Structure formats: structure tokens, C-alpha cells
Amino acid sequence: MPLLTTQSSTKSSGTGLRHQKKAKSVSFWESQRLAKEKAYEKKAKKYKLKLDSLTVFTQQLASMLEAGLPLVSALAALQDQTEDPVFRIIIREVKADVSQGTTFSASCAKFPKAFNNLFVSMVEAGEASGGLAEILQKVADYFEATTKLVKKVKSAMTYPIAVIALAIILVNILLIFVIPVFAEMFSGFGAELPKPTTMLINFSDWMQANILYVIAAGFILFQIWSRFTKTPKGRRIKDNMLIRMPVFGNLIKKITLSRFCRTYATLLRSGVPIMQCLEIVAASSGKVQIEDACKAISKNISEGGQVSGTVQNLDFFPPMMKHMTKAGEQTGNVDGMMNKIADFYDTETDAIIASLTSLIEPMLIVFLGVVVGGIVMAMFLPIFSLATVVGG
């Protein structure tokens, strides 16, 4: 009996130890989960949500509301299926506020980086009109059109930027590692080298001695330019430079005009007051030209004028847009006319992107041929005239 008692006590003590270890393990993982959740909650207020994610969220929310699902239930479903942990926290907080009686627009306004002004204003208009699902679908369509346009521009620019970056890396490798080998070989010739070869070798020597200074100077200049462009004067200079750029300036201007017209039409059609429309358009444009135009239009409207009256006097807007804006006001279909203008500029943008894509490839080939081919030619000139150089 004492032996059995000892064995049973040993088993119970072993089981107790296992339970303690398991409890410690569970508490450890639970504490880790809570720590992560607190970190996500800190990020939530300043979290900038990507437009793609906001588009998907808006589309799904609009579909659920159209199907008759209550707003709180729809938010709960979106919270469960969202993979972004920070955005999941944001949806949870919005759902909690809505459950306590706060309006959806006011709840979203607490997270200005995740839900932009356009989204919040459109939701507010939808709540006032009682057609939140319809308004959210319009917002989703607008975001989707904007996302497609951005993707087109990015895809068109990715190839040339990648090729130019690779060319810069290749040229630096040639200057720092390859050319010194040739320079050492040519130093035994005992004769004067061709001028292109001499200039290239001297530049290679300078790059080897100052490469760290060049990188540091480039980084400092980039930081100075980045900070300068965040100031009002810097933004104005940068935007004016972008609009006046050859080839790409026209593309940027058409994209800016399309975004202005599309945003204005979407807000106006959703029942947002015109003065508030102009404030949101100015804030979401990202261009000082549109901000100045919206301020001028707001001032003119407050004095009893119309949109077309201001647009006529602004050089930034092309004649076609001026005439169509005036026609829209005369027919009482301003938002419809603005959408047509946006469609026209979207078509023009697609055509410019297609032509740029077809032109960029041969231009890059010529660029690479001139730069890399020039370096190779300069280094092989002494070899081509080897007999003359060795003979003095």
C-alpha cells in the first residue's frame, strides 16, 4: 500500500508539473498576442490604408448593405475576413462606435489616414439621404477607376525606371571595377592614349576616390528636396515643374483634370453641398493648380457666380473643358458633363500611355547603346590602334 501511494503521488506530481508547464506556455502566447494587439492599436490612429484595400472594403460593404445586412453585422463580417491586422483593429473600433449609436461617418472620421475626406463626406451624404448602400457603390466605382488609372501609369513607368536604374548600376560597375583593369594594362604601352580613353580613365579614378562622397551628396540632396517639396513654396515649384515637363507633363495634366472632374461629379451627384465638394476636391487633388482653382471657384460661387465663370478665366483648364462645363450648367447636368469630361481625359491618358510605351523601348535601347557602347568603344580604341600606340 505505501508503494502504491508513492507511485500515485509521483504520477499526480508529474501531471501537475505538465499542467503548470502548459499553463505557462498558454499564458506566454496569450501575452504575446495581447502585446501585438496593443501595438496594432497604437498604429491604428496613424495607419494609412492603401487605396486598393479601401476599394475592396467599400465594395464589399456596399454589397452587404444592398443585400439587407445591418451595418454592424456587415462590419463584423468584414472584420473577420480582413487579413490586415491593423485594419482589423480599425474596423473593430468603428463597429463598436456604431453599436453605441455613433454615426458611421463620425466613426470613420476618427481614422483620417485610413478613411479619406472623400469617403467620410460621401458616407455622411448617404446617411443623410438614406441611401448609404448606393452611395458606397458610387465611392467604390470611383476608387476602382482611380486605382486602375494609377496602375496603368505605374506599369508604364516601371520598365523605363528599371532599365535606367540597371544602366546606372552597370556604368558604375564598369567605372569602378572594370576600367581600372584596362588602365593598368594600358599604362605599360608607354605612349599617349586616345583622348576619350584618357578622359574615361580619369573619370574612373575620380569615381573610385569619391564614390562615398557622391552617394552621401546624392542622399543629402534627396533629403533636402523632399523636405523642400513639403513646404507650400516647394510644392508649388514641384507641381509647376511636373506640369511643364516634356512629354510627361501633358500626361500628368490630363490625369489631374480627369481626377478633378471625376471627384467633383461623384460628390455632387451624391448630394454633397457644392462648397464642401470643392474643399474635398482641393484636398484630394494633390496639385496646387487644382487647389488654387477650387479656391477661386468657391469665392466666385459665394459671390453669386457659377463654376464655368471661374473656369473660363483659368489658363490651367483647356478650352474643351471650359465649353463643356458651361454647357453642363446651361442644361442642368453639371455632374453628367463632368463625368463625360473625365471619360474623355481617361481615353486621352490611355492613348498617351500606349504611345509612350511604344516609344520608350527604342529610346532606352538608344540610351543604353550610347552610354554603354561609348564606354566600351573608348576602352577598346587603344586596342584597335595597338600597333600605332606601341610603335610610339
Q: Report pLDDT digits (tens) over 192-216.
A: 778 888 888 888 888 888 888 888 9
Q: Which triple of cell numbers denotes residue 112?
A: 483620417
What is the pLDDT at residue 221? Answer: 93
Q: Are 255 and 262 spatial neighbours (Cβ–Cβ below 8 Å)?
A: no
Contact indicator for 235, 288 with CB cutoff of 8 Å: yes
CA 154 to the chain's CA centroid: 9
What was the pLDDT predicted at 20?
Answer: 56
> What's residue 124's pLDDT?
86
Residues contacting residue 214 through CB under 8 Å, at least 6 positions apart = 207
| Residue 41 or residue 29, greater confidence | 41
pLDDT at residue 29, rounded to an integer: 65
The dotted CATH code for 51-115 is 1.20.81.30
Triad 352, 344, 340: Cα angle to 5°: 165
Question: Which residues make up the CATH 1.20.81.30 domain(s) of the chain?
Answer: 51-115, 140-392
Closest CA to 161 of 389, 384, 364, 370: 364
Dist CA 286 CA 274 (whole Å): 19
What does pLDDT average to over the chain? 82
> Could you tell me which of 61, 60, 152, 167 has the C-alpha nearest to residue 104?
61
pLDDT band at 224 (very low <50, low <70, confident <90, very high): very high
- pLDDT, one tens digit per residue, over 288-344 is 988 888 898 888 888 888 888 888 888 888 888 888 888 888 888 888 888 888 888
Q: Which CATH superfamily is domain 140-392 in?
A: Type II secretion system (T2SS), domain F (1.20.81.30)
| Predicted structure pTM score | 0.73
Lowest-pLDDT range of 188-192, 221-225, 249-253: 188-192
pLDDT band at 3 (very low <50, low <70, confident <90, very high): very low
| Residue/partner pairs of 378-384 with CB below 8 Å, 24 or more apart | 378/194, 378/196, 378/197, 378/199, 378/200, 379/179, 379/182, 379/197, 379/200, 381/193, 381/194, 381/196, 381/197, 382/186, 382/189, 382/193, 382/194, 382/197
Least confident of 109-113, 173-177, 353-357: 353-357
pLDDT of residue 389: 46
Buried b (16+ CB within 10 A) or exposed e, 14-46: eeeeeeeeeeeeeeeeeeeeeeeeeebeeebee
Q: What distance in Å separates the CA atoms of residue 259 and residue 265, rounded to the nearest whole number?
A: 10
The predicted structure's pLDDT at residue 276: 85
Cell of 31: 501575452
Residue-wise pLDDT tens digits, 79-133? 888 888 888 899 999 999 999 988 998 999 888 888 888 888 888 888 887 788 8
Q: Cα–Cα distances in Å, from 328 out to 138, 247, 275?
A: 21, 31, 18
Q: Which three cell numbers stand for residue 104?
A: 458611421
User: What is the CB neighbour count within 10 angstroms for residue 245?
Assistant: 13
Cα separation of 52 and 233, whole Å?
Answer: 31
